[in-house]
A and B are shown apart, each in its own frame.
Chain A
Amino acid sequence: MSSCGNPAVEAEALMSRRLKFDKSRSCVKCKTNVGNIVIRHAVYCKDCFTPLQTTKFKRSLEPSINPASASTSGPRRTKLKATGNLLIGFSGGLGSTVLLDLVSRCYISSNETVENVDGNSKPRGGTKHPRNQSVWMEARACYVEMCGAFPESGMRDRTDEVRKAVERYNGFEFVSLRIEDAFDSRWWASVGGRDQIRERDLGVDLSDEELLLSSLQHSSDSSPLAALQKYLSSLPTTTATQSSLTALTRLLLLYTALATSSSHLLLGTTLTGLSIGLISGVAMGGGFVVREEAGEEWEPRISGLAGEERRIKVVRPLQDMGMKECAAWVWWNGLEVVGKENVVGVKQGIGGLTKDFIVGLERDYPSTVSTIARTCAKLAPKDAAVERCVMCERPAQRGVQDWKARISIRSFNSPESEMSIPLPPHIQSAIPPPSHPHHSSFSPSLTPLLCYGCHTTLTSRSSRGTALQSKNLSKSLTDVIAPLPVWVSSRLLDSVVNPGGEMRDDLGGDAWQSKKMDVKEMRDAVKDFLLED
């Protein structure tokens, strides 16, 4: 008979309920206390939980601080000495709250003190003892406010709440950014970029798969916020919006780390978040940079700044702590999480779907998230990178456009590929090349400068996508050209434009030149879409 007592139910058809823990309710570490938390079938008490998580955190972070700290022999703490300052990416979410707390406990306010005969306290072993030396000279927590990206959702500005959360800890300077800074030439100048972009802003036509570049026409509202919103509304899918915001945030943090002479950028990505990022990265075509998703060493492109000492290590020290462990840490330590606001539509994107899938899977298969992270740690890119993508500034591989053209034919007259495609038998005469009503025949393309993932983000469409395709049919040139983030414009102007105004493809392509179109040319180009007055 089945467990529910119904004799009609076939016993084999019912799954036996699996215990949440392995053997007993006692802590597997001290074996004396009754357990308080189950982590992947192992039971831990509250007393053992704290040192366990602290050890995991240090084990993830310390080998990357400096070469001497990577050595396994001897005590590590005395060898820790970073070459620059510290920047923590702080979103106010669960992971970054735990990260800030752990960094503060372990490296900022951790020095043990002893009281001397005068009653004053001083660090044990004296201030000069290697144990009491600061690992980083300065520490900052940087927050990127996202509300500008969602004007219609009524998302509130949480900068003050986040500032208060950071100010609870001593030793951290608060750095506040806004997501629209990615389109702000003043911010770009403040982090070391050249302030020459306003006059020569470049935009890209996202309605066309060739991603042709044009000079951007300045309208009355050309603020960074308007530029951000125009860029986001031009993207073809919800997935593209989400992944672009992630990429913009990452670059804002990296350039801020550069400007603050930081050698390390720490992110509060948990094991769960890392696994979600890895799977969604693979699903968005980012297999070539799967290693960078877990940790990367970024070298700035700003001219005159490259070099060993300006490399920034991006570390995720919570990559061995799951979301559940972080939640327990926050609860048991009475920390306050500012939290993030839910944005409508996020769940329909690849990132949101992956999150739901992984979190759901973790319930039935608790080892899934760590398996994903361990598996991806065993992977490496198959080929050497030929360049860095201008958009995400991560390694890019060769031959992406040929690959795309070969496996999905989008035109019998494809300019992106060198492949010649014979015409199908039902077509008698040659097909004219596609016309680009908004561009001159000399318009350069952004496509060869992008990695697979960024190109897909900007071009891959969905029937569920944003309303770009339907809206843009009747739009004029100024409406369809989306602005580009400042580092992209800067890179394009820096490397492909010579003083004469001609542009060349620095990836070995054909020479191309840009030409500003006048009103008559524009009207000629779009006349077929215009109705008579």
Chain B
Amino acid sequence: MPPRNCALCANARAMLKRPKTGQQICRGCFFYVFETEVHNTITEAKLFKPGDKVAIGASGGKDSTVLAHVMKTLNERYQYGLDLFLLSIDEGITGYRDDSLETVKRNQQQYDIPLKILSYDELYGWTMDAIVSQVGKKNNCTFCGVFRRQALDRGAATLGVDHIVTGHNADDIAETVLMNIMRGDIARLGRCTLICTQGEDTIKRSKPFKYAYEKEIVMYAYFKKLDYFSTECIYSPDAYRGHARVFLKDLEAARPSAIIDIIHSGEAFEVREEVKATQKVQQTCQRCGYMSSNELCKACTLLEGLERGMANSAITDRARKKLDAEGPAPDNLRTIPFYRAPSAAGPNASIAVEAPS
């Protein structure tokens, strides 16, 4: 078959078939449309204003590595006027995070962006290795997910940034829409397709790759020769999410637009007003000051369970009742440092980061 010309510019030879549209296009057009679509996402949602300090949640994986590259490119091309930072969380999983943190440190040098690494051990006094040794592999994802979310906010607060951007891609969002419908999580279903979320006391958090296909992110990294670590977590993944992911991949194979179609569906509906009225009002954790739907936030509840040797107390009702029956938490219980949002910390809050050499 003779070589085909690019379906977009009709000049250069087509080098790839775009997973999102099925078009055969050249490398130059691929870079350009990929970046322009991210730019369209950013400008349509009015995510940033000049002078914003923006932390890129960097894990060293493909999504965040490409995000750092694209954010740097777009910031320069379209003169967003952003101060960019890299923010990494070290969960303390031996053999999983070590290599990818090296990638983040390389990105810090390549892109000349300051880096902050915050560890679970530093913040909670527990590494994921230690948590798994107590709770086993079954529910450890609950601990990791809850702790990571808070850790990013706390890391961003110490950097004094206004905004965190994460590498969640279209596949992640479509999968979450399906998951939330299937497990009846109406509160999360209502907000999972939002490009930007912000609680009263939390830092703005956005997903510029909301419409970017995972396959295209990999393709971008490949053609740009960006190095990243593709490491699966060594602890067992969430089985239910695993089912949803396999299903989504099957849908994508049947019709590649399925991913974007699911996101469109998620954006087209909302939770009915009368249902919203029955949802819990957000409050502040009495122990650590972080946003919470109960008196204690999920991270404090999980940490208390770990500290008191009853790690499942935040997972099952039965275990929670058992913990309550043991009496109130002892005074010398290890707790998470009190959370202060950047606005509360003031504009001159200290920023302890590793500057690029």
Contact = CB atoms under 8 A, between A and B. Distances in A.
Contacts of A49: none
B251 A283 contact: yes
A411 interface: yes
A281 to B, nearest CB: 8
B256 A284 contact: no
B357 interface: no
Given A372-B182, A375-B189, A409 B33 contact: yes
Interface stretch (A94-102, A146-154, A285-293, A310-318): A285-293
A408 B20 contact: yes
B-side binding surface: helix, strand, loop or mixed?
A: helix
A117 interface: no
A456 B254 contact: no
B27 to A, nearest CB: 9
A519 interface: no
A407 B260 contact: yes
A116 to B, nearest CB: 52
B37 to A, nearest CB: 6
B262 A375 contact: no
B230 interface: no
Nearest to A453: B261
Given A375-B184, A426-B12, A12 B257 contact: no
B262 A412 contact: no
B178 interface: yes
Contacts of A278: 181
B268 A287 contact: yes
Contacts of A237: 254-255
Interface size class of B (residues with CB under 8 A): 35 or more
B146 interface: no
Q: B22, B36, B265 — which one has the most chain A CB atoms within 10 A of its CB? A: B265
B254 A238 contact: yes
B178 to A, nearest CB: 7
B265 A378 contact: no
A224 interface: no
B211 A353 contact: no
Interface stretch (A83-91, A379-387, A500-508): A379-387
A283 B32 contact: no
Interface in A373-415: 374-376, 378-383, 397, 403, 406-412
B182 A407 contact: no
Interface in B244-265: 247, 250-251, 253-258, 260-262, 264-265
B16 to A, nearest CB: 13
B271 interface: yes
B264 A409 contact: no
B266 interface: yes
Given A406-B40, A408-B260, A426-B11, 4 more contacts: A12-B136, A283-B261, A406-B37, A427-B9
Closest 6 CB pairs between A and B?
Answer: A287-B265, A424-B32, A285-B261, A288-B268, A287-B268, A426-B28
16 contacts: A281-B265, A282-B181, A283-B265, A287-B269, A288-B269, A357-B250, A371-B182, A372-B182, A379-B271, A380-B270, A383-B268, A406-B40, A411-B8, A426-B28, A460-B255, A462-B253
Interface of B: 8-12, 17, 20-23, 26, 28-29, 31-33, 36-37, 40-41, 44, 136, 177-178, 180-184, 186, 189, 211, 240, 243, 247, 250-251, 253-258, 260-262, 264-273, 275
